[in-house]
Amino acid sequence: MLIIFTVSCSQQEESLFAENVTATPDNKKEYAGLIDYFTDLGTLNINVTANGNYQGKNNPAFIKGINAPNFGYCHPDVQYFPNGFNGYKYWMVFTPYFGAIGNGGVSERYENPTIVVSNDGLNWSSPNGVAGPLQRAPSLNESFPEKLNEPKQGFWSDVDWTYENGKFSLYYRGSFIRAATLRRRGAKSQNNSRKLVKNSQRTIVRQTSTDGIYWTPLEAVYTSDAPYSPKNNHIISPSIVYNGQGYVSYEVENNISANFPGNDPSYIISRTSNNGLDFSNFKQSKVVNFINKPWAKVNSEYAPWHIQATYVDGYYFLCIAAGEVRKYTAESLYLAYSKDGLNFKVMPKPLVEHDTYRSCIFPMNINNETISFGAVVAYKTGIFKYREFQLNKAKLDDCLSK
């Protein structure tokens, strides 16, 4: 029986293929005239502490200040409200990492979802009522090792959020955290009972809030096991948008199995959901096409490593941190755009050429002709920088025309 079960699981894994969508041909037109695309307006100062303590612990040795000049910021995502929301125009979720926090080992204890606010895009602090990370680091007893005899330290990472229909939906990834831990920390729901049956190396979770202060208990979205993913793939940097009809997610999957269409080091897949909680399984997901891949001209080993998605006024955008995926890192930051959400054209010149990581863009003003964006550009030094730029809709349409 054990042999039959093992073979059956293996066959199930081998049959998991995302759908390959017919690619749109390149019309060879490039977007021109982006003057403000490369200009930083300043460096962010986030006046909060990073807390690496486990639940119930308060050891000062695991509390670090990460305001300037002790930068230690990673993985930003911003929602902008022109008229303010709960007293602030900018709301950002990020994780402390890099810089003053370091990267790897004990640093993962600090990589917890943290919410901050601002009215100028440069100076940030905690909103009233929110102190410390939304989730504390999982303890050793709440974690399991990736491989036998390796150290165990589960961690959170890869935060991303939307604001739709009067609420924030915050998504992030739990790695090497026991299913029993996620059930205990999460909602007592049928959803969690159904999805958190066994330990999975990685689990995407969601929390929601109507005010940015009080958050619902976490709910499991999907895991790194079948039928959601080829077993133990990394489901990297999932990013979700709401397009007015439903939810669309994008994530990076490493090309570490036979489940992908070519030899690229990584692929981006797209899922859909009606409720923001139950997304397409892997076989019902679609592989994103890139009409051009400027990062491959820089280095043939480059591919998307982390991403952030935005939907605005009929356009899908991907902010892509590309680099040597097989070395688990990024280097350059690119901006891609699409009308169908599956065929993307990439701006030929990167926003940043070197030392960058998962960053974000966000719409600030929309009219019939243009979309004005803000951007928080993240570097592997732990520093965030702010810039603004504008895109012309007619030029975008021309570049995407067949």
Reading the chain (402 residues) residue by residue, the pLDDT tens digits are: 444 434 444 444 556 788 888 889 999 999 987 767 778 899 999 999 999 999 999 999 999 999 999 999 999 999 999 999 999 999 999 999 999 999 987 999 999 999 999 999 999 999 987 778 999 999 999 999 998 888 889 999 999 999 999 999 999 999 999 999 999 999 999 999 999 999 999 999 999 999 999 999 999 999 999 999 988 899 999 999 999 999 999 999 998 877 787 889 999 999 999 999 999 999 999 999 999 999 999 999 999 999 999 999 999 999 999 999 999 999 999 999 999 999 999 999 999 999 999 999 999 999 999 999 999 999 999 999 999 999 999 999 999 988
Q: Burial code of 339-352, b = ≥16 C-beta within 10 A, e = fewer?
A: bebbbbbbbeebbb
pLDDT score of 44 = 98
pLDDT score of 151 = 83
**Residue corresponding to tokens 């004005």:** 372
- Using DSSP bridges, classify how beta strands 167-175 and 63-65 pair: parallel, antiparallel or unpaired: unpaired
CA–CA separation, 3 vs 308, rounded Å?
42
Contact indicator for 128, 85 with CB cutoff of 8 Å: no
pTM: 0.94
pLDDT score of 40 = 87
CA–CA separation, 209 vs 166, rounded Å?
9
Take residue 179 and report the two structure tokens written for it: 């299913």
pLDDT score of 19 = 85
Contact indicator for 346, 334 with CB cutoff of 8 Å: yes
- Residue 176, C-beta contacts closer than 8 angstroms, at least 6 positions apart: 143, 144, 145, 146, 152, 153, 154, 155, 201, 202
pLDDT score of 81 = 98
